[in-house]
């Protein structure tokens, strides 16, 4: 039977035309068509039987190909031959063809296993591991051209034309066949068990089964994705997608109710139909084969790693493009959109605990699945304009996000409940797709991309710890070998070192895989575009002026306050990731059009910190701003320039940062004491840069002169930090010196046990880390004080500040220039950031900056009984001159100050003699010193000097005698009569005169 020359459909058309048009014998047609089909099947099977034992295609494949070619011809004939009689005939033919195709798909015509052997060719091997229809579809789509004739023939013995089993089958034939199947699927009365649904369902299940067990680097993966992309895109009768409609009706389309109730996120990836298509992953924890194959050596060179990463990123782009198209094909028809959105939102809801810091990964979808979901949402949301997004979606009963119990930006649960109740009745219409997509994208990024960033940071810490452990183990091993330790101890150390190196290699490979994805420029630019749009949306909710970015509200607008905190925090985490890894190339990974919105939102958060309850969230944006600073990034960048010329920077930034510097003293967290130092370090970086550039220097001067109380609190916090950090750093250096001396003293070291030696080494490492941290923070605070005092004097000379500042400087001068300064000399000081000459130079400069004509600073130095001595200042001058630490001009100024202080100290001593018998009522209750401006505390009725209580209030706004709330405005002035004072010498300093 020559199918090349005989038209299957035409033969039936001829038979039909010979009959009476008025009474078409349908029963006869069915019998005739059935006879012809059965005859064709027997002919094919008989031909296969003649080649028993030879390498041939499976009979299911040949029969499937035969029926698909017939269905394709049927589709072509239906388009070109018109008439009611022909339509009836075509329907009958289609019924038989699809019925027999369903029989084939269920194995009704399989040969016994001994009838033929499989071919070794790659093509036939592919066929042997796939269903026949899937094999044909992949073959056609993969080539998108005519199928090679040899695949239709017996291998090794090219048949004659009359023996050709099948007609020529090309992409057009496959398309026509599936168009016909789609039409019949659309008209199928029995959607659950009809022949076409059975055939298509089996094809879809086979496809899902294949992709579920396929690694991302398997060459077949793209073929499987291409198949689903094609099937979901089949359109008939204008815009109907019958196969897409079938997909969302499959029994495993969505997760079971029990999985939803139990919150098992893994089920949606492994058990649903679409899950495996979104699961291919490059993350090493998901698929170790990729890490081993692409990065076999954890110590590969940067060039090798980057080359492999580039290839994998190209693969990722193709996979993400296919996944997006598949999801879009399922979202386009209104009949399938709701099902698809429900599946996608279920995938997020079942994995909602990924947004937590700690979670059990074994119960959740894998990292790659969640990141792929993030990418799909990112690209779906790309055309959405934030202006079109509804602002009340999160409070709507239609909301798909799981936000119950989530921390809000600035709102309590009670106020949220009241606000939601007030909105009831305003949600009659379902939200638009743009609105749902916009919010779901934020949630998807939170659970996918941002969660992966956090995991990557944890891995970096693990690698750092492993690297440090390996170095320590290596040193311990060398020490053990050199000192003749027992062999079993040495072997144990060698095993530990080997295991640590193996673990480090695995972690490095995993890091390379994560960086391949998370540092993919295409992905980062997409994320930046979305977050830029989200920033605009958030500022719209905060009622910001579009030009100045200043909110019109004095209190937090409710729509902004009741947003989940992660909407803001994820933006910060993303930007921190960017500036941490692309500090010199931010422009290459952040979309240029999105950066103005990102910069505006950054400044908005800092300048409206009262809108955000969590101070640590605000501190992240401060850290980002400090990273953008040229002092930290190492180069000038346009992004820092854009921030500086922003309206908010010119009007609110300096004041906002000063307030935040002051307020971060108390956060409510258990770690608040140490957290404040790193936060203030970042603020100091910003301040020093702005001061040196001079661009916003007038704003500092304005704050110092126009807002004295705030600036005084600011200087007080700065002095407190400098005092604590320097003291801790210098004490730590002394301890480091002791431990280093012990380490190099073999006589003392050898007398210690192995446990004591290891304990000493661990103690040294701990102190070294602490000293390095304290010095980094202290040096920055000293630099800030040095810069500000060049032009700002008055806030540092206020009575409540100047005595503390002078005492702090004197104390550190004793440490640096006193008799025990040699205790600070350690090995490799640069590794700790220990630069004593530079530090001393800065302190000397601060002394000279504050030496004013009214001698307030000099007098405070003279009043310092704890640290000041004329000998200290003399020794300091000699040390500075000997090492050239300061310029001759500065040294001369310091010498003049030294002489002035020496004179004032002598006068003070004489005054103390004159007033030594002063009555107790003239003395400060707290300090036991003579008062110059006495005030009464209203609660305790105690009398103290104003400068004393103000200094206390700068740290704690309470009455020191009863801990009741107290402010400067509550103080009651007291005045003494001249006659009440004891007699004193005319030479006494006028500062002791009371009025």
Spell out where 612-720 has E strands.
none
Tokens (6 digits) for 340: 């698809």
Q: For position 970, which CATH number holds?
A: 3.30.40.10
Q: How confident is the model at residue 125 (pLDDT cuts 50, 70, 90)?
A: very low
Long-range contacts of 965-972 (CB under 8 A, 24+ apart): 966/937, 966/938, 966/939, 968/709, 970/937, 970/938, 971/935, 971/936, 971/937, 971/938, 971/946, 972/935, 972/936, 972/937, 972/938
* Same domain flag for 299 and 418: yes
**Angle of helix 672-693 versus helix 708-744 axis, rounded to 10:** 110
Cα four-point dihedral sign 486, 489, 492, 498: negative
Q: With 60 as the cut, is the pLDDT of residue 807 above it?
A: yes
Cα separation, 986 vs 995, in Å, equals 17
Going by C-alpha positions, the residue among 445, 424, 425, 428 that lies closest to residue 526 is 445
Cα separation, 636 vs 372, in Å, equals 35
Q: What percent of the chain has pLDDT over 70?
A: 85
Q: What is the pLDDT of residue 190?
A: 58
Across 437-446, 502-511, 585-594, 672-681, least confident range:
585-594
Q: What is the pLDDT of residue 498?
A: 94
* Same domain flag for 315 and 439: yes
Q: What is the pLDDT of residue 90?
A: 77
Q: With 70 as the cut, is the pLDDT of residue 992 above it?
A: no
* Each residue's pLDDT tens digit, 70-101: 888 888 777 777 766 677 777 778 887 888 78
Q: What is the pLDDT of residue 110?
A: 62
Residue 165 included in any domain = yes
Q: Which residues pair with 930 in a beta bridge?
A: 923
* Same domain flag for 839 and 963: no
Tokens (6 digits) for 92: 């009958």
* Each residue's pLDDT tens digit, 952-973: 888 888 888 888 888 888 888 8
* Each residue's pLDDT tens digit, 215-228: 998 888 999 999 99
* Each residue's pLDDT tens digit, 483-493: 788 888 899 99
Going by C-alpha positions, the residue among 810, 821, 809, 737 that lies closest to residue 771 is 737
Going by C-alpha positions, the residue among 155, 150, 162, 168 that lies closest to residue 116 is 155
* Same domain flag for 650 and 795: no
Long-range contacts of 426-431 (CB under 8 A, 24+ apart): 426/392, 427/392, 427/396, 427/397, 427/398, 430/398, 431/390, 431/393, 431/396, 431/398
Q: What is the pLDDT of residue 122?
A: 36
* Each residue's pLDDT tens digit, 9-24: 444 444 444 444 444 5
Q: With 80 as the cut, is the pLDDT of residue 299 above it?
A: no
* Three-state SS at 701: helix
Residue 529 included in any domain = yes
Return the number of other C-beta atoms located less than 10 Å from residue 759's C-beta: 12
Residue 582 included in any domain = yes
Across 83-87, 532-536, 562-566, 898-902, least confident range:
83-87
**Global model pTM greater than 0.75:** yes
Contact 773, 728 (CB under 8 A): no
Across 294-298, 645-649, 852-856, least confident range:
294-298
* Same domain flag for 892 and 962: no
Half-sphere exposure of residue 333: CA atoms within 13 angstroms, side-chain side: 23
Contact 650, 603 (CB under 8 A): no
* Each residue's pLDDT tens digit, 187-244: 875 566 678 888 899 899 999 999 998 999 888 899 999 999 999 999 988 788 999 9
Q: What is the pLDDT of residue 767?
A: 93
* Same domain flag for 853 and 733: yes
Across 12-21, 61-70, 111-120, 426-435, least confident range:
111-120
Q: What is the pLDDT of residue 290?
A: 87
Q: What is the pLDDT of residue 103?
A: 81
* Each residue's pLDDT tens digit, 631-668: 776 667 777 788 888 999 999 999 999 999 999 988 77
Mean predicted confidence (pLDDT) in 142-171: 43
* Same domain flag for 281 and 156: no
Residue 591 included in any domain = yes
The most confident of 134-148, 692-706, 783-797, 904-918, by mean pLDDT: 783-797
Gap between the terminal Cα atoms of the chain: 127
Residue 153 included in any domain = yes
Mean predicted confidence (pLDDT) in 770-791: 95
Tokens (6 digits) for 254: 């969505």
Residue 333 included in any domain = yes
Mean predicted confidence (pLDDT) in 66-71: 83
Across 107-121, 127-141, 632-646, 759-773, least confident range:
107-121
Range of the domain at 300: 254-449
- Among 876, 899, 914, residue at a domain's last position: 914
* Same domain flag for 756 and 889: yes
DSSP letters, 724-775, are HHHHHHHHHHHHHHHHHHHHH-HHHHHTS-HHHHHHHHHHHHHHHHHHHHHH
Mean predicted confidence (pLDDT) in 976-982: 48
- Among 650, 675, 706, residue at a domain's last position: 706
Q: What is the pLDDT of residue 262?
A: 62
Q: With 90 as the cut, is the pLDDT of residue 126 above it?
A: no
Q: How confident is the model at residue 623 (pLDDT cuts 50, 70, 90)?
A: very high
* Three-state SS at 809: helix
Q: What is the pLDDT of residue 54?
A: 52
Q: What is the pLDDT of residue 171?
A: 67
Give burial (CB, 10 Å; 0-12/13-18/19+) of 546: exposed
Q: What is the pLDDT of residue 83?
A: 66
Residue 50 included in any domain = yes
* Same domain flag for 801 and 934: no
Mean pLDDT for the chain overall: 84
Pairing outcome for strands 972-973 and 934-936 = antiparallel
* Same domain flag for 116 and 95: yes
Q: With 70 as the cut, is the pLDDT of residue 168 above it?
A: no
Q: With 50 as the cut, is the pLDDT of residue 330 above it?
A: yes
DSSP 312: H
Q: What is the pLDDT of residue 918?
A: 66
* Same domain flag for 900 and 952: no
Going by C-alpha positions, the residue among 651, 650, 638, 630 that lies closest to residue 590 is 638
Comparison of pLDDT for 29 and 696, the residue scoring more:
696
Q: Number of helices (H) and strands (E), helices first, in the chain?
A: 42, 3
Mean predicted confidence (pLDDT) in 880-885: 93
Comparison of pLDDT for 817 and 169, the residue scoring more:
817
Tokens (6 digits) for 466: 């492993």
Cα four-point dihedral sign 697, 701, 707, 708: positive
Q: How confident is the model at residue 983 (pLDDT cuts 50, 70, 90)?
A: very low
* Each residue's pLDDT tens digit, 919-929: 777 787 777 77
* Same domain flag for 673 and 736: no
Q: What is the pLDDT of residue 773?
A: 95
* Each residue's pLDDT tens digit, 377-423: 999 999 999 999 999 999 998 999 998 889 999 988 889 999 988 88
- Among 884, 914, 944, residue at a domain's last position: 914
H or E segment at 468? helix 449-482
Q: What is the pLDDT of residue 640?
A: 79
Q: Count up the domains in the chain and report the number.
A: 5
Q: With 80 as the cut, is the pLDDT of residue 863 above it?
A: yes
Residue 791 included in any domain = yes
């Amino acid at each position: 039977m020559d199918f090349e020359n005989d038209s299957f459909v035409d033969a039936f058309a001829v038979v039909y035309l010979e009959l009476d048009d008025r009474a078409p014998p349908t029963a006869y047609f069915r019998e005739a068509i059935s006879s012809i089909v059965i005859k064709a099947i027997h002919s094919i099977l008989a031909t296969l039987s003649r080649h028993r034992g030879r390498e041939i295609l499976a009979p299911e494949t040949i029969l499937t190909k035969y029926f698909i070619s017939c269905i394709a011809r049927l589709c072509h004939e239906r388009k070109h031959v018109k008439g009611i009689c022909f339509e009836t005939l075509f329907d009958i033919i289609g019924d038989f063809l699809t019925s027999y195709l369903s029989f084939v798909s269920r194995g009704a015509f399989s040969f016994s296993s001994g009838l033929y052997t499989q071919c070794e060719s790659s093509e036939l091997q592919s066929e042997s591991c796939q269903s026949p229809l899937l094999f044909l579809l992949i073959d056609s789509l993969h080539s998108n051209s005519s199928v090679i004739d040899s695949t239709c023939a017996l291998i090794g013995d090219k048949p004659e034309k009359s023996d050709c089993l099948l007609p020529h089958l090309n992409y057009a034939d496959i398309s026509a066949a599936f168009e016909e199947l789609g039409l019949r699927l659309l008209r199928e009365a029995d959607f659950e068990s009809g022949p076409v649904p059975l055939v298509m369902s089996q094809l879809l299940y086979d496809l899902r089964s294949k992709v579920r067990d396929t690694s991302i680097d398997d060459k077949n993966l793209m073929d499987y994705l291409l198949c689903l992309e094609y099937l979901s895109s089949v359109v008939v009768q204008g815009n109907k997608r019958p196969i897409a409609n079938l997909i969302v009706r499959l029994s495993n389309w969505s997760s079971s109710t029990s999985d939803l109730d139990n919150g098992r996120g893994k089920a949606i990836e492994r058990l649903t139909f679409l899950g495996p298509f979104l699961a291919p992953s490059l993350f090493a924890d998901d698929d170790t084969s990729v890490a081993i194959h692409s990065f076999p050596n954890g110590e590969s060179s940067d060039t090798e790693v980057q080359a492999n990463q580039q290839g994998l990123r190209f693969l990722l782009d193709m996979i993400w493009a296919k996944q997006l198209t598949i999801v879009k094909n399922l979202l386009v028809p209104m009949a399938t959109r709701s099902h698809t959105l429900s599946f996608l939102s279920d995938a997020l809801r079942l994995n909602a605990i990924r947004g937590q810091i700690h979670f059990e990964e074994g119960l959740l979808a894998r990292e790659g699945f969640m990141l792929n979901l993030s990418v799909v949402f990112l690209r779906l949301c790309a055309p959405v304009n934030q202006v079109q997004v509804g602002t009340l979606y999160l409070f709507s009963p239609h909301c798909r996000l799981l936000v119950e119990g989530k921390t809000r930006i600035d709102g309590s649960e009670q106020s949220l409940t009241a606000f939601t109740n007030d909105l009831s009745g305003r949600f009659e219409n379902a939200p638009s797709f743009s609105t749902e997509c916009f919010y779901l994208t934020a949630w998807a990024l939170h659970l996918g991309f941002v969660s992966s960033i956090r995991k990557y940071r944890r891995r970096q810490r693990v690698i750092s710890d492993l690297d440090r452990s390996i170095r320590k183990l290596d040193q311990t091993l060398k020490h053990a070998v050199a000192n003749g330790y027992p062999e079993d101890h040495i072997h144990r150390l060698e095993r530990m070192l080997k295991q640590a190196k193996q673990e480090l290699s695995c972690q490095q490979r995993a890091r390379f895989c994560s960086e391949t994805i998370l540092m993919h420029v295409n992905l980062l630019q997409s994320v930046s575009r979305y977050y830029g749009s989200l920033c605009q949306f958030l500022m719209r909710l905060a009622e910001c002026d579009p030009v100045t970015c200043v909110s019109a509200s004095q209190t937090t607008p409710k729509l902004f306050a009741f947003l989940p905190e992660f909407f803001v925090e994820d933006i910060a985490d993303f930007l921190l990731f960017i500036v941490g890894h692309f500090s010199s190339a931010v422009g290459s990974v952040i979309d240029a059009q999105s950066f103005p919105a990102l910069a505006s939102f950054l400044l908005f958060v800092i300048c409206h910190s009262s809108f955000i309850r969590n101070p640590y969230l605000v501190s992240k944006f401060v850290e980002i701003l400090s990273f953008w600073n040229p002092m930290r990034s190492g180069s000038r960048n346009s992004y820092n320039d854009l921030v500086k010329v922003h309206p908010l920077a010119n009007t609110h930034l300096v004041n906002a940062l000063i307030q935040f510097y002051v307020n971060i003293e108390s956060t409510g967290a258990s770690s608040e004491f140490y957290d404040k130092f790193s936060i203030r370090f970042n603020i100091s970086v910003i301040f020093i840069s702005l001061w040196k550039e001079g661009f916003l220097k007038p704003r500092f001067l304005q704050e110092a002169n126009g807002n004295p109380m705030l600036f005084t609190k600011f200087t007080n916090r700065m002095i407190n930090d400098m005092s604590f950090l320097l003291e801790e750093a210098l004490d730590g250096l002394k301890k480091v010196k002791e431990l280093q001396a012990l380490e190099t003293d073999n006589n003392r070291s050898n007398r210690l046990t192995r446990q004591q030696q290891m304990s000493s080494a661990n103690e040294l490492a701990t102190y070294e880390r602490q000293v390095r941290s304290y010095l980094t923070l202290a040096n920055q605070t000293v630099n800030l004080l040095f810069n500000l005092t060049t032009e700002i004097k008055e806030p540092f000379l206020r009575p409540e500040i100047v005595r503390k500042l002078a005492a702090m400087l004197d104390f550190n001068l004793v440490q640096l220039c006193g008799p025990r300064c040699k205790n600070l000399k350690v090995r490799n000081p640069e590794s700790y950031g220990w630069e004593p000459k530079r530090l001393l130079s800065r302190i000397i400069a601060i002394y000279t900056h504050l030496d004013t004509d009214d001698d307030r600073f000099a007098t405070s130095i003279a009043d310092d009984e704890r640290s000041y001595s004329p000998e200290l200042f003399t020794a300091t001058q000699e040390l500075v001159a000997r090492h050239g630490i300061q310029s001759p001009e500065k040294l001369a100024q310091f010498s003049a100050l030294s002489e002035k202080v020496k004179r004032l100290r002598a006068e003070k001593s004489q005054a103390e003699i004159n007033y030594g018998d002063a009555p107790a009522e003239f003395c400060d209750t707290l300090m036991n010193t003579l008062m110059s401006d006495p005030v009464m505390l209203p609660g305790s009725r105690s009398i103290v000097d104003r400068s004393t209580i103000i200094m206390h209030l700068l740290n704690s706004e309470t009455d020191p005698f009863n801990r009741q709330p107290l402010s400067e405005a509550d103080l009651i002035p007291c005045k003494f009569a001249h006659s009440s004072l004891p007699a004193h010498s005319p030479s006494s300093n006028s500062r002791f005169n009371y009025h």
